[in-house]
């Protein structure tokens, strides 16, 4: 095949677009295979081939041979190290089909990049080295492909030239793989023996493996039916991405611009806007090129509704048919598989930002039900999820979310989690099902309101959150503040970290995960006490910013004060009122904040107290003065 395969307009009459992921262990030859595929199909331009031919010198044994991996490994570090670090996307078209190939890295440390590629793929090309058989990464990648919803696997048994082109070798690997993958629910597993380096069975049929009667890799990729193409037959899901504002000439115009994620919608259809559940009817469909009667999965259009309903970016429209299956789930608690992508572990109870569709909202993992062993598929127990780990979790969101199970709809069943402080993407989630308790628990309206309870005490409830290292002086200052408030006639309560740990939180230890839960419970107790009308003083180390922000979010603006008792570590160690630092130094105590456990100082506390500059009484006066200024105490 010497002329480039064509990719003209006629290709739409072929098999459409196929999104392929290549994965497998490092050094199994993924980049080489893609390079070889492009080359043998005549899709590499001459000038690029010439460049690669030049770059290949010294990298391959035979002069004049080409290192095909150089066609796809583009980053300097990748070429230096001869590995793939990040996903590369390759595009090509033959006369039968166009392809987007995501070439994924094989190293375990880049599993998140592999998962990213899997999230959009319909078919995975899984490479196995014929000499090595199934490796840990072969299994890990298979499990992630299965979780991500890929239903078609091509098991590319590579380097057959180095395994004597033996049929028995190939059969044994295929047998092993079928046994391993049986529980993963793939629709098809097609195995092809090939040599990426030498080009056997990639585009051209190999004469060296006459025992193989199946298709070449390219033939199979051109012919395979992903069997998921009919998203248009699924229930309607229309994601609102933008509310089109009135144009100057048409001030009444209000359109919901978005994407048809699945199903179809036509002018005149009755729809429901989620999560509110508002019914409406589609008046017309608007595009720059005109007004089509109908839009189907994959279209980006603007819907104009007959009614002036309240619909905003992030809302989801479904059909309003009689079938209950037409409506998405709406809940603020659900179970999901979570692939962790963060360097810092996932900690249940910590607040993250969740993105689903076009909506952002705070969310926490309320329980880590199990961690999946991606080699054996066994479920294990764990307190946290580390980098590249997969777990089944319960999540809770700050507002109800409209979604579907991931198995039913990848777009409406997926989400990402983002760290609130670094803005990094730390998790990728696939929703399994809503938690029934979310639907069955409703906040009970109380007969006496928080404002009434506070009113009878003639005060404004508030939380004073003292944070700082052990021995900084939090409890000392908090005690003196409470004395003064009491003397002024205020109703108060002091929650001290140690006291709470002796009672309510006696089941918790000092791991990061337990510290987060400790603070979560303390925050909830403080909230109940402010609803009772009290001024609550909390003296907790609360080492992580994320948790202090989580507690802050429980309270109305202005009723939560973060008070940073700022004492240098050396001074705290000198004071050491409870002997913690001495024990830590002696090695008899672990997880001591400031020693072998981190402390993240507040960045913008309402008040900062310098215990080196002033004594505890002066500092207590300062706190009371700050409360007076805010109208909380001593009015």
Partner 1 sequence: MPHPPPPLPEDLRLLEAEAVSILRETAAAFRKPVLLYSIGKDSGVLLHLARRAFHPGPLPFPLLHIDTGWKFREMIAFRDETVRRLGVELIVHRNEEGAARGIDPVRSGSALHTRVMKTEALRQALDRHGFDAAIGGARRDEEKSRAKERIFSIRSPGHGWNPRDQRPEPWRLYNTRLQPGETVRVFPLSNWTELDVWRYVAARRLPVVPLYFAAERPVVRRSGTLIMVDDERLPLDPGEVPERLRVRFRTLGCYPLTGAIPSGAATVEEIIAEMRASRSSERQGRLIDGDEPAAMERKKREGYF
Residues 421 to 480 in contact with partner 1, rule: CB under 8 A: 422-425, 428
Could you say which of 416, 464, 565, 619 contacts partner 1 (CB under 8 A)?
A: 416
Residues 12-71 touching partner 1, rule: CB under 8 A, are 12, 16-17, 45-48
Tokens at residue 417, please?
A: 């989690």
363 phi, psi to nearest 5 deg: -150, 150
Cα separation values, 457 from 46, 437, 631, Å:
84, 36, 14
In three-state secondary structure terms, 424 is coil
Report the nearest approach of partner 1 to the CB of residue 545 (Å): 14
Closest CA to 101 of 21, 175, 38, 165: 21
Q: Find the part of the chain contacting partner 1 (CB under 8 A) among 60-68, 110-118, 171-179, 572-580.
A: 110-118
Could you say which of 329, 404, 411, 514 contacts partner 1 (CB under 8 A)?
A: 411
409 contributes a contact to partner 1 by CB under 8 A: no
Report the nearest approach of partner 1 to the CB of residue 128 (Å): 25
Q: Find the part of the chain contacting partner 1 (CB under 8 A) among 1-9, 181-189, 468-476, 535-543.
A: 1-9
Cα separation values, 432 from 101, 116, 334, 351, Å:
28, 19, 7, 21
Report the nearest approach of partner 1 to the CB of residue 115 (Å): 6
Residue 257 vs 366, nearer CB to partner 1: 257
Task: Determine whether the annotation assigns residue 373 to a binding site.
Answer: no
Task: Determine whether the annotation assigns residue 26 to a binding site.
Answer: yes
> How many residues in the shown chain lie near partner 1 by CB under 8 A?
78
Residues 495-534 touching partner 1, rule: CB under 8 A, are none
Residues 119-178 touching partner 1, rule: CB under 8 A, are 119-120
228 contributes a contact to partner 1 by CB under 8 A: no
Task: Determine whether the annotation assigns residue 429 to a binding site.
Answer: no
d(C-alpha 319, C-alpha 420), whole Å: 35
Task: Determine whether the annotation assigns residue 161 to a binding site.
Answer: yes
Report the nearest approach of partner 1 to the CB of residue 564 (Å): 21
Residue 339 vs 561, nearer CB to partner 1: 339
Could you say which of 58, 64, 213, 290 contacts partner 1 (CB under 8 A)?
A: 290
Task: Determine whether the annotation assigns residue 449 to a binding site.
Answer: no
Residues 268-287 touching partner 1, rule: CB under 8 A, are 286-287
Q: Which residue has the tokens 């900062």?
A: 608
259 contributes a contact to partner 1 by CB under 8 A: yes
Could you say which of 23, 217, 341, 464 contacts partner 1 (CB under 8 A)?
A: 341
183 contributes a contact to partner 1 by CB under 8 A: no
Task: Determine whether the annotation assigns residue 30 to a binding site.
Answer: yes
Report the nearest approach of partner 1 to the CB of residue 348 (Å): 22
Beta strands 264-266 and 294-296: pairing type? antiparallel
Query: 300 forms bridges with which residues in the sheet?
Result: 259
Could you say which of 65, 171, 222, 299 contacts partner 1 (CB under 8 A)?
A: 299
Residues 238-257 touching partner 1, rule: CB under 8 A, are 241-242, 244-247, 250, 253, 255, 257
Residues 585-604 touching partner 1, rule: CB under 8 A, are none
Q: What angle do CA 17, 6, 1 make, to 5 degrees?
A: 115
What H or E segment, with its residue span, contains residue 139?
A: helix 136-147
8 contributes a contact to partner 1 by CB under 8 A: yes
What residues contact residue 13 under an 8 Å CB cut-off, 6+ apart?
none
In 245-358, the DSSP E strands lie at 255-262, 264-266, 270-274, 278-286, 294-296, 300-305, 316-319, 329-340, 351-356
Cα distance between the two ends of the chain: 89
Tokens at residue 212, please?
A: 């193989």
Task: Determine whether the annotation assigns residue 105 to a binding site.
Answer: yes
Closest CA to 306 of 320, 326, 288: 320
Task: Determine whether the annotation assigns residue 107 to a binding site.
Answer: yes
Q: Which residue has the tokens 């993240």?
A: 600
Cα separation values, 334 from 44, 245, 337, 427, Å:
47, 34, 10, 16
Residue 268 vs 298, nearer CB to partner 1: 298
Could you say which of 30, 39, 112, 491 contacts partner 1 (CB under 8 A)?
A: 112
What residues contact residue 184 under an 8 Å CB cut-off, 6+ apart?
142, 143, 145, 146
Could you say which of 56, 69, 142, 356 contacts partner 1 (CB under 8 A)?
A: 356
Report the nearest approach of partner 1 to the CB of residue 251 (Å): 12
Residues 61-100 touching partner 1, rule: CB under 8 A, are 72-77, 79, 85-91, 93, 98, 100
What residues contact residue 177 under an 8 Å CB cut-off, 6+ apart?
128, 134, 138, 155, 189, 191
d(C-alpha 283, C-alpha 292), whole Å: 12
187 preceded by cis ω (within 30°)? no
Task: Determine whether the annotation assigns residue 472 to a binding site.
Answer: yes
Residue 297 vs 513, nearer CB to partner 1: 297
Residue numbers in the known binding site for ATP are 468-475
Residue numbers in the known binding site for GTP are 24-31, 103-107, 158-161
Residue numbers in the known binding site are 24-31, 103-107, 158-161, 468-475
């Amino acid at each position: 095949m010497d002329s480039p395969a064509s990719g003209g307009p006629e290709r739409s009459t072929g098999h459409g677009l196929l999104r392929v992921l290549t994965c497998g262990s490092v050094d199994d030859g993924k980049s080489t295979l893609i390079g070889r595929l492009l080359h043998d199909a005549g899709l590499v331009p001459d000038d690029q081939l010439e460049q690669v031919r030049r770059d290949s010198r010294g990298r391959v044994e035979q002069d004049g041979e080409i290192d095909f991996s150089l066609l796809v490994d583009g980053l300097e570090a990748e070429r230096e190290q001869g590995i793939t670090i990040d996903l590369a996307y390759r595009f090509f078209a033959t006369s039968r089909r166009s392809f987007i190939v995501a070439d994924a890295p094989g190293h375990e440390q880049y599993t998140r990049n592999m998962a990213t590629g899997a999230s959009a793929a319909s078919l995975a090309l899984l490479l196995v080295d014929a000499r090595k058989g199934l490796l840990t990464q072969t299994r890990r990648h298979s499990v992630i492909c299965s979780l991500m919803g890929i239903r078609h696997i091509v098991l590319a048994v590579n380097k057959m030239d180095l395994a004597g082109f033996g049929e028995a070798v190939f059969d044994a690997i295929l047998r092993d793989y079928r046994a391993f993958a049986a529980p993963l629910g793939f629709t098809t597993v097609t195995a092809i023996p090939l040599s990426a380096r030498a080009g056997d069975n990639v585009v051209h049929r190999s004469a060296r493996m006459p025992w193989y009667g199946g298709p070449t890799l390219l033939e199979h990729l051109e012919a395979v039916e992903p069997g998921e193409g009919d998203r248009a037959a699924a229930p309607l899901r229309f994601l609102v991405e933008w509310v089109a504002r009135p144009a100057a000439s048409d001030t009444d115009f209000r359109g919901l611009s978005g994407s048809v994620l699945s199903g179809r919608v036509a002018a005149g259809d009755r729809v429901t806007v989620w999560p509110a559940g508002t019914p409406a009817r589609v008046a017309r469909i608007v595009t720059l090129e005109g007004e089509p009667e109908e839009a189907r999965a994959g279209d980006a259009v603007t819907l104009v509704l007959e009614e002036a309903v309240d619909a905003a970016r992030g809302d989801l429209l479904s059909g309003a048919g009689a079938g209950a299956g037409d409506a998405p789930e709406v809940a603020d608690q659900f179970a999901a598989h979570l692939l962790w992508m963060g360097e810092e572990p996932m900690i249940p109870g910590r607040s993250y930002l969740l993105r689903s569709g076009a909506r952002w909202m705070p969310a926490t993992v309320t329980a880590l039900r199990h961690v999946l062993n991606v080699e054996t598929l066994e479920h294990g127990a764990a307190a946290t999820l580390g980098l590249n780990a997969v777990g089944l979790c319960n999540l809770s969101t700050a507002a109800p979310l409209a979604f579907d199970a991931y198995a039913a709809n990848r777009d409406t069943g997926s989400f990402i989690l983002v760290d609130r402080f670094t803005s990094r993407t730390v998790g990728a989630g696939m929703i399994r099902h809503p938690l029934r308790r979310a639907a069955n628990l409703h906040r009970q309206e109380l007969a006496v309101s928080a404002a009434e309870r506070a009113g009878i005490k003639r005060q404004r409830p508030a939380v004073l959150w003292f944070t700082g290292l052990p021995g900084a002086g939090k409890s000392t200052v908090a005690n003196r503040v409470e004395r003064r408030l009491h003397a002024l006639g205020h109703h108060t309560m002091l929650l001290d970290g140690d006291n709470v740990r002796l009672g309510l939180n006696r089941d918790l230890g000092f791991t990061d995960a337990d510290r987060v839960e400790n603070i979560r419970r303390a925050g909830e107790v403080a909230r109940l006490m402010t609803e009772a009308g009290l001024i609550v003083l909390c003296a907790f180390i609360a080492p992580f910013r994320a948790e202090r922000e989580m507690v802050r979010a429980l309270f109305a603006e202005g009723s939560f004060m973060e008070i940073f008792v700022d004492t240098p570590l050396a001074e705290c160690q000198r004071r050491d009122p409870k002997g913690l630092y001495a024990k830590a130094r002696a090695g008899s105590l672990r997880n001591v904040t400031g020693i072998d456990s981190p402390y993240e100082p507040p960045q913008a506390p309402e008040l900062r107290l310098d215990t080196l500059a002033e004594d505890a009484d002066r500092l207590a006066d300062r706190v009371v003065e700050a409360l007076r200024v805010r109208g909380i105490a001593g009015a």
